[in-house]
Amino acid sequence: MRKIVLLTLLMLVMASLASLSAAAAAIPSSQSRGGSMELSKVRWANHTEALTGTAMLRMVMDVSGPVEASGIVVNEPTPRLVVTIKGTTLGKQVEDLTFDGKVVEKVSFDTSGKDTKILVDLPLMVQPNDYKVFTLPKDVKANKPFRVVVDINKPLSPPDFSFTPGLKDKVITIDPGHGGSDPGAIGPSGYQEKSATLAVAQNVKSLLEKAGATVVMTREDDRDVFGPNASDVDELKARSTVANNRKTDVFVSIHCDSFSDRSANGTTTYYYQKTLYDAMLADAVQTSLVDAGNLLDRGAKQANFYVIKRTRMPAVLVEMAFISNPNEEKLLSSPDFQKKMSLGIVRGLERFFSQAAKLN
Ligand SMILES: [Zn+2]
């Protein structure tokens, strides 16, 4: 499926936009009953905006008559552009599409209501000025039907990483897990995860700054990053956006683990392998955290967590210890242990930059 679509896409690219007009010559003949319009054909092409040079994907849909179309970007369940074409049914030949994920991951159609909804799954959230939905009138001279056009800008390509040893002049985003309306996990004696993560993050910040690094914090006090009682995805997206909007070298999210079995214990570091460096960063941070805190080494593991997946730079999510374990809860609440963990994270970052520099 993917190969076919990519091939189609490639052909469209090669033929450029001129081909769109040629392909559009197949004017839809069927106009559905009850005055409802029909969407009969969908085409895609890579396109470069003439004025700005912005690379984008353009989707052109033929409709049997004038329609109203609008688009909205949502974050649930994942980043998605929803295009609504009012009072329009879907032609039988229109099928879902799968793409390579550079601009769009998948396109599917929801025809459950009286409008056709086009669900465009995106790899990353886009800003309102990164997409456009508009209609074009029928052009008899050029033999073109009514059309709905969707333009989506290509997200900026991830930067090429080239690391130097040392912490000096590095930009590091620290994300203290939870906060504000979200306490995170709560220990048997009532200590809250959001307190431990903030205390450790603040220590890490001051240690890193002493070493000459610039620290970007997703939150500096007890608050929500997106807003109180927001959906998980909004909250987590807000946190990755803090890092994505800055030229951040690495991203560290700090958490406490929790499990129904109170004997569960130890330290884990999670990563999502999206750059050459994520696993290396996780190994380095995990090694230093275990050295510093002396708890059970549960290892560096892969996970699909939002903040490590949706940040563009190497990223880790650290589970310092189990807040559900009475002993570890006590440790997590003690300034002494918090300092040890902070030092572990900072040494891990230092370890990482020296290893990563050797890859250059
Ligand atoms: Zn957490």
Which pLDDT value is given to residue 124? 75
Which pLDDT value is given to residue 159? 60
Residues sharing a CB contact under 8 Å with residue 51, sequence separation 6 or more, in sequence order: none
Which pLDDT value is given to residue 16? 40
- 252 CA → ligand 1 middle, Å: 13
- 170 CA → ligand 1 middle, Å: 26
Residue 38 · residue 90 · CB < 8 Å: yes
- Strand order from edge to edge, sheet including 250-257: 214-217, 171-176, 250-257, 315-322, 267-271, 297-302
Which pLDDT value is given to residue 35? 57
Q: Which two tokens stand for residue 28?
A: 């839809």
Residue 176 · residue 218 · CB < 8 Å: yes
Which pLDDT value is given to residue 273? 81
- 214 CA → ligand 1 middle, Å: 24
Amino acid identity at 21: S
- Phi first, then psi: give them for residue 336, nearest 5 degrees: -65, -50
Which pLDDT value is given to residue 46? 84
What b/e readout covers 171-184, taking b as 16+ CB neighbours within 10 angstroms? bbbbbbbbbbebeb
Q: What is the pTM of this model?
A: 0.61
- 178 CA → ligand 1 middle, Å: 6
Cα–Cα dist 202/242, whole Å: 17
3-state secondary structure of 286: helix
Cα–Cα dist 339/218, whole Å: 20
pLDDT per residue, tens digit, the chain (360 aa), is 444 444 444 444 443 433 333 333 333 434 434 458 999 999 998 887 776 667 789 999 999 999 999 999 887 677 899 999 999 999 988 999 888 777 888 999 998 889 999 999 987 777 777 899 999 999 999 999 999 999 998 765 556 688 999 999 999 999 999 999 999 999 999 999 999 999 999 999 999 999 999 999 999 999 999 988 888 888 998 999 889 888 899 999 999 999 999 999 999 999 988 788 999 999 999 999 999 999 999 999 999 899 998 898 999 999 999 999 999 999 999 999 999 999 999 999 999 999 999 987
Cα–Cα dist 120/25, whole Å: 25
- 286 CA → ligand 1 middle, Å: 17
- 323 CA → ligand 1 middle, Å: 10
- 157 CA → ligand 1 middle, Å: 29
Helices (H), the chain: 2-23, 193-210, 232-244, 278-293, 306-310, 326-333, 335-359
- 351 CA → ligand 1 middle, Å: 25
- 243 CA → ligand 1 middle, Å: 18
Residue 268 · residue 305 · CB < 8 Å: no
Q: Which two tokens stand for residue 63?
A: 């409709």
